[in-house]
Structure 1
Amino acid sequence: MSNVNTETAPRRDRRSSRWDEHRRARREQIVDATVAAVGRCGAGVGMEEIAAEAGTSKTVVYRHFADRSELYVAVCARVAGQLTGRLRAATRGTGHPREVLTAAVETYLAFIEADPELYRFVVAHPFLDRPVDADPVSTLSDLVGDQAATLVAAALRQAGRDPAAAAPWGHGVVGMVRSAADWWLRADRPMPRADLATHLTDLAWAGLSGLLPRTPSETEETS
């Protein structure tokens, strides 16, 4: 009897593992379909459009996601991963702090301009049908703010200054950019993205530049 248990348990584990992998893959496919449906139908997309995009029925979608809110949170997690990944790539390296700031602002604006309906879907919460434990938008802002704070802290340490202020400054810059970006989309993009990025960079840099180390060329210009 003990031999039978030893032989059958691994089979069950393998079947369970394959089923778990299938469910993960199917959930990712439904998230893909949701993103595509938002792009096609707008931020007010419904479950019927999402199911049609996924080539299935609403019943099957609800088999993998308990409700609309769970699917919404999964889409937000996808967007957060993509945005933070692009920001890390854009700010990686040893460029001048202003160049890093410019790259971060431009990357954020380019991301939302590439798919404004997806951004509205995430930020405006039109898909939620119940409160969620953690606001995905606040979580996304916190993730981006933490990245900005890390960059500011490194610059402050390089300047020999206390990095304690990096967190409020980093999150403050992100809040400013997000607020301006929201206005930009609501106003139907009244200026080119590059101009908006320049304006936001100028404003943020006016506050940060006095706190960061100067390059040799900047020191010579003011001497």
Structure 2
Amino acid sequence: MTQALDAPTSADGRDRRWDDHRQERRARLISAAITLIDRDGSDVGVAAIAAEAGIPRSVVYKLFRDREDLDEQIRGQIIDEMTAALAPLLVPRATLREMIRVAVTTYVGWVTAHANLHRFIGSGSTTRPTPGSPAITGGKTAFSQSVVALVNALIPQMTHGAKLPRGSAENLAFALTGITDSVVNRWLLAGRSRSSKRDLCRFLTAASCSVVESASTLAGIDIDLDAPVPL
């Protein structure tokens, strides 16, 4: 009787251990893929990923539905790592202009240090493009929403309680992230004709500050980009 009662618990324990084992192997494969893409470019084969992870190639498609599923999980992890690098910047510091400058410089620095990863999440490989990736769309939207929250928190503190009109913070946040993303993507493709990284950062900082000033003017709010940000 006791054995009969204990059997489901033992089975549940084995299932949990197997699930943990599967998750650990999936994580190793994704990490290995990111390492290889970062180093060698986006056209990395499954055999190379499996070898880097120390996992038999035959196991890969027992852990992922197909190559597209694997690629989507890789994109999601890259987005998570990039967002983690940028998240500390969404904290009030110094002045708004300085916050924008540091955010732009950090983002451009990450992109130039990991150009292959950025290219992979943006366009995939030469044989596997990435139109409409949920991981990319979701990651960009989540980060932009974090900027929305920051704008909504800072504006009242810097303007004696004034608030942006409904939807204005979202328009501003998505404009800032969208412009930066588009310009950096084009800059990476420009090759020898592109500006220096320093000039790119200066341009994006100035452009972003202009967007903030225009948004505040349209809202009838006076924002001093060089005033100390309340901490």
* Alignment correspondent of 2:44: 45
Q: Normalization by structure 2: what TM-score?
A: 0.83
Residue in structure 2 matching 1:162, options 146, 161, 164? 164
Note if contact 1:156-1:162 (Cα within 8 Å) is conserved in structure 2.
yes
* Alignment correspondent of 1:221: none
Q: Which AA in structure 1 matches 2:62?
A: R
- Looking at structure 2, the residues matched to 169 and 10 of structure 1 have their Cα atoms a distance apart, in angstroms, of 53
* Alignment correspondent of 1:83: 82
- Secondary structure in 1 aligned to 2:122? helix
* Alignment correspondent of 2:223: 213
User: Residue deviations 1:144-170, cap 9 Å, x none?
Assistant: 211222222223323212253010110
- Looking at structure 2, the residues matched to 32 and 89 of structure 1 have their Cα atoms a distance apart, in angstroms, of 23
TM-superposed CA distance for 1:213, in Å, is 3.0
- Secondary structure in 2 aligned to 1:43? coil
Q: Which AA in structure 2 matches 1:200?
A: L
- Secondary structure in 2 aligned to 1:17? helix
Note if contact 2:172-2:211 (Cα within 8 Å) is conserved in structure 1.
no
* Alignment correspondent of 1:177: 180
Q: Which AA in structure 1 matches 2:205?
A: T
Return structure 1 stretches of 4+ with deviation > 3 angstroms.
Answer: 127-134, 215-218
Residue in structure 2 matching 1:198, options 183, 198, 202? 202
- Looking at structure 1, the residues matched to 76 and 82 of structure 2 have their Cα atoms a distance apart, in angstroms, of 10
Structure 1 segments unaligned to the other structure (5+ residues): 219-223
TM-superposed CA distance for 1:90, in Å, is 2.2
Residue in structure 2 matching 1:187, options 190, 193, 196? 190
- How many residues matched? 217
Q: Which AA in structure 2 matches 1:197?
A: C
TM-superposed CA distance for 1:45, in Å, is 1.9
Q: Which AA in structure 2 matches 1:214?
A: D
**Which stretch shows the higher mean deviation, 208-217 or 45-54?**
208-217
Structure 2 segments unaligned to the other structure (5+ residues): 217-221
User: Residue deviations 1:71-125, cap 9 Å, x none?
Assistant: 1111122112112222221232333111221222122211111111111111103
**Which stretch shows the higher mean deviation, 97-106 or 52-61?**
52-61
TM-superposed CA distance for 1:129, in Å, is 5.9
Task: Using the aligned pairs only, state the percent identity.
Answer: 26
- Looking at structure 2, the residues matched to 156 and 215 of structure 1 have their Cα atoms a distance apart, in angstroms, of 11
TM-superposed CA distance for 1:55, in Å, is 2.9
Q: Which has the bigger relative contact order, CA under 8 A and spacing at least 6?
A: 2
TM-superposed CA distance for 1:181, in Å, is 0.7
Question: Hey, which of these two has a bigger chunk of helix by percent?
Answer: 1
Compute the RMSD of aligned alpha carbons.
2.6
* Alignment correspondent of 2:219: none
- Secondary structure in 2 aligned to 1:11? helix
**Which stretch shows the higher mean deviation, 118-127 or 12-21?**
118-127
Note if contact 2:176-2:211 (Cα within 8 Å) is conserved in structure 1.
no
